[in-house]
A and B are shown apart, each in its own frame.
Chain A
Amino acid sequence: MIARRDLAARVASVEDLTRTCFRLELTCREPVVAVPGQFGMLRCGAELDPLLRRAFSFAGVRQVGEGWVVEMHIKEVGKGTTLLRRLAPGARTSLLAPLGNGFTLAGLSGGRLALVAGGIGLPPVLFAAEVLAAEGRPFDLFFGAARASELYEIDRLAAATAAVGGELGLCTDDGSRGEAGVVTGALERRLAGGREIGRVLACGPDPMLRALGRLATARGLDAELSLEEPMACGVGVCLGCVVELEDGSLVPSCKEGPVFPVRRLGERWRS
């Protein structure tokens, strides 16, 4: 396992992706190594309010010159994310990372690998897509959002899927781009069309993940969901972020997750 650290970071850039989402790039002097699905706890400001750090998935990490650049995609939803959007380049912060587990990218025994993202669930899915593309492993990717203006990073997704001859399926709830309807619908249509899917890796809003959980359970599909539970510490000591498993136990998702195979999860995620 890669050692977690409280990394001193500086804001390299803040750039709008959609009306509500932005890309935050941080530079660290210390090496940062993470796998798709892992996250970091980011300090939003120096004051006592907001008190807690915020959890964000890695959208990517790369070495640039002497340093490492961490890429995150963040949706502005409240106090912490509003402060982050206003950070100026050069501002200092700290990132406790890498935390949690990641998606299972290797060991597919048969069928195709399907990556599924909904809205701001894209960051770990994009990270997975670019890692898979670099390793030359085939996959299809389905990305859904409410409307065309909320689909972003399409060029990178197209490049990654094209590199391995995979399909990029875009969906919007209002039909303003790609297939009309929810992204799980697109996946169901592929299955109905006879496509063999060996594994599904997904991140997105709860209703999407629950729909995927039901689909995977009904079809006996191997699927992994990246869950978003409210977190205080991110490192397994507060026990605030628990998820109910199939055996009824409650486990901290920051440590045992955030990625869980559907078959391990409790009823809430499967029915």
Chain B
Amino acid sequence: MTPDLRTAVGDLRLANPVLTASGTFGYGLDLEDLCPPERLGGIVTKGLSPLSRRGNQPPRIAETAAGMLNAIGLQNIGVEAFCSDVLPELRRRSVTVVVNVFGESPAAYREVIARCERAAGVAAYELNVSCPNVSAGGIEFGHRPAALASLTAACRAETGKPLWVKLSPNAPDLVGTAQAAVDGGADALSLINTLRALAIDAVARRPVLQRGYGGLSGPAIKPVALRMLWEVHRALPSVPLVGIGGIETGQDVAEFLLAGASAVQVGTAVFRDPAAPLRILGELERFCAAQGVAAVGELIGGLQWL
């Protein structure tokens, strides 16, 4: 018997629970030859802003044990280029597209959503209020519950489609920000973004990254992501969650589902293995079959706490 991999994040139905994480899979078609996006639960685009962004000066990346730091600075092609050049092709292939939205002000977030609303093919929006690598926008919303609630409400007014808010693991009050996003009208929460981190070049006595701090991702952050997911799930059990952070295997996905996620996103694993999302999906299917799990839905929130 093949396990039923279908899932749903709130009202959004997905063929399976494995999506790609923002900033690690381009705009959905960049790696189509190595990992066909139509076979995944969906793709989340690189963070899109109203206009294209140049990003930070290099060096932008540094490797660490079982992880990496990045400070890309949200370099992207801008929402217009995405909607006119990429989205029609994604739509033609029936890819489930989640647009990751970034702006330096609430008006900029609204502008990105408004432009996408005029196009066809977007399944949901994910507000990036948690990028540690830019000086304006993002985190100033993600760390302050009141600001986050009003930003979410402003975006809510632009669309009837599912609205996800991507939480920062660096926020002083995780559950408070999660609650604020829901109060503002979010349909689901995704977590986690990268953890603020520092890599040092001891010989040069300088940070490795040109920006100083960067965001840590990869297997090293998985236990932190699982803890945060479970905390939010326990505090807000009816809110659909999307789990992110260091997922490398199908069994990792099962752990995120047990901690309360309805779907997951695979990020840094793509850099090691461009076909990782598909491989992980196959592994999840085999894990379920071996464990007698008939449908992945059975796993969601199924962690037996002490």
A232 touches which of B46, B54, B55, B271 (Cβ 8 Å): B271
With A6-B275, A51-B67 known as contacts, the answer to whether A239 contacts B55 (CB < 8 A) is yes
> How many angstroms from the CA of A51 to the CA of B60 in the assembled complex?
17
B72 touches which of A43, A48, A231, A240 (Cβ 8 Å): A240
With A6-B273, A230-B59 known as contacts, the answer to whether A237 contacts B54 (CB < 8 A) is no
By a CB distance below 8 angstroms, the chain A residues around B273 are 6, 94
CB <8 Å contact, A240 and B272: no
By a CB distance below 8 angstroms, the chain A residues around B23 are 238-239
Shortest distance in angstroms between A246's beta carbon and chain B's nearest beta carbon? 14
> A218 contacts the other chain (Cβ, under 8 Å)?
no
With A232-B61, A249-B54 known as contacts, the answer to whether A238 contacts B271 (CB < 8 A) is yes
With A53-B272, A240-B72 known as contacts, the answer to whether A48 contacts B30 (CB < 8 A) is no
With A52-B271, A250-B58 known as contacts, the answer to whether A238 contacts B75 (CB < 8 A) is no
By a CB distance below 8 angstroms, the chain A residues around B34 are 4-6, 235
> How many angstroms from the CA of A236 to the CA of B62 in the assembled complex?
17
With A3-B33, A48-B248, A235-B30 known as contacts, the answer to whether A242 contacts B65 (CB < 8 A) is no
Interface string of A45-61 (1 = CB under 8 A from B): 00011111100000000
By a CB distance below 8 angstroms, the chain A residues around B31 are 235, 237
A237 touches which of B25, B63, B66, B219 (Cβ 8 Å): B25
Shortest distance in angstroms between B63's beta carbon and chain A's nearest beta carbon? 6
CB <8 Å contact, B55 and A233: no
Number of interface residues of A (CB under 8 A): 31
CB <8 Å contact, A52 and B274: no
> How many angstroms from the CA of A249 to the CA of B219 in the assembled complex?
32
Shortest distance in angstroms between A18's beta carbon and chain B's nearest beta carbon? 23
By a CB distance below 8 angstroms, the chain B residues around A236 are 26, 30
A51 touches which of B58, B272, B275 (Cβ 8 Å): B272
CB <8 Å contact, A242 and B60: yes
CB <8 Å contact, A51 and B70: no
> How many angstroms from the CA of A218 to the CA of B149 in the assembled complex?
57
By a CB distance below 8 angstroms, the chain B residues around A53 are 271-272
CB <8 Å contact, A51 and B30: no
CB <8 Å contact, A240 and B60: yes
CB <8 Å contact, A48 and B61: no
Shortest distance in angstroms between A99's beta carbon and chain B's nearest beta carbon? 11
Q: How many A-B residue pairs have CB under 8 A?
A: 96
By a CB distance below 8 angstroms, the chain B residues around A229 are 58
Shortest distance in angstroms between A142's beta carbon and chain B's nearest beta carbon? 29
Within 8 A of B (CB), among A231-271: 231-233, 235-244, 248-250
B54 touches which of A3, A240, A250 (Cβ 8 Å): A250
Within 8 A of A (CB), among B51-84: 54-55, 57-63, 65-68, 70, 72, 75
B70 touches which of A4, A5, A94, A240 (Cβ 8 Å): A240
Shortest distance in angstroms between A229's beta carbon and chain B's nearest beta carbon? 7
Shortest distance in angstroms between A3's beta carbon and chain B's nearest beta carbon? 7
Number of interface residues of B (CB under 8 A): 35
> How many angstroms from the CA of A250 to the CA of B76 in the assembled complex?
11
CB <8 Å contact, B63 and A51: yes
> A186 contacts the other chain (Cβ, under 8 Å)?
no
CB <8 Å contact, A48 and B219: yes
| Chain B residue at minimum C-beta to C-beta distance from A251 | B75
With A6-B275, A51-B272, A238-B23 known as contacts, the answer to whether A232 contacts B68 (CB < 8 A) is yes
By a CB distance below 8 angstroms, the chain B residues around A3 are 33
With A4-B33, A235-B274, A237-B30 known as contacts, the answer to whether A250 contacts B55 (CB < 8 A) is yes
> B170 contacts the other chain (Cβ, under 8 Å)?
no
Interface string of A208-245 (1 = CB under 8 A from B): 00000000000000000000011111011111111110
By a CB distance below 8 angstroms, the chain A residues around B55 are 239, 242, 250
Within 8 A of B (CB), among A107-150: none
> How many angstroms from the CA of A28 to the CA of B34 in the assembled complex?
18
With A48-B248, A51-B68 known as contacts, the answer to whether A233 contacts B271 (CB < 8 A) is yes
> How many angstroms from the CA of A237 to the CA of B66 in the assembled complex?
19
> How many angstroms from the CA of A138 to the CA of B268 in the assembled complex?
45
> How many angstroms from the CA of A49 to the CA of B26 in the assembled complex?
25
By a CB distance below 8 angstroms, the chain B residues around A235 are 30-31, 34, 274
> B123 contacts the other chain (Cβ, under 8 Å)?
no
By a CB distance below 8 angstroms, the chain A residues around B147 are none
Shortest distance in angstroms between A249's beta carbon and chain B's nearest beta carbon? 7
> How many angstroms from the CA of A117 to the CA of B272 in the assembled complex?
30
Shortest distance in angstroms between B284's beta carbon and chain A's nearest beta carbon? 19
CB <8 Å contact, A237 and B26: yes
CB <8 Å contact, B33 and A237: no
> How many angstroms from the CA of A238 to the CA of B30 in the assembled complex?
11
> How many angstroms from the CA of A213 to the CA of B75 in the assembled complex?
27
| Chain A residue at minimum C-beta to C-beta distance from B268 | A51
With A49-B66, A233-B274 known as contacts, the answer to whether A239 contacts B60 (CB < 8 A) is yes
19 contacts between A and B (CB under 8 A): A6-B34, A43-B272, A48-B219, A51-B218, A51-B268, A52-B63, A232-B68, A235-B274, A237-B25, A237-B26, A237-B30, A238-B61, A238-B271, A239-B60, A239-B75, A240-B58, A240-B72, A242-B55, A250-B55
Q: What 4 A-B pairs are tightest by C-beta distance, nearest first?
A: A240-B61, A233-B271, A48-B66, A237-B26
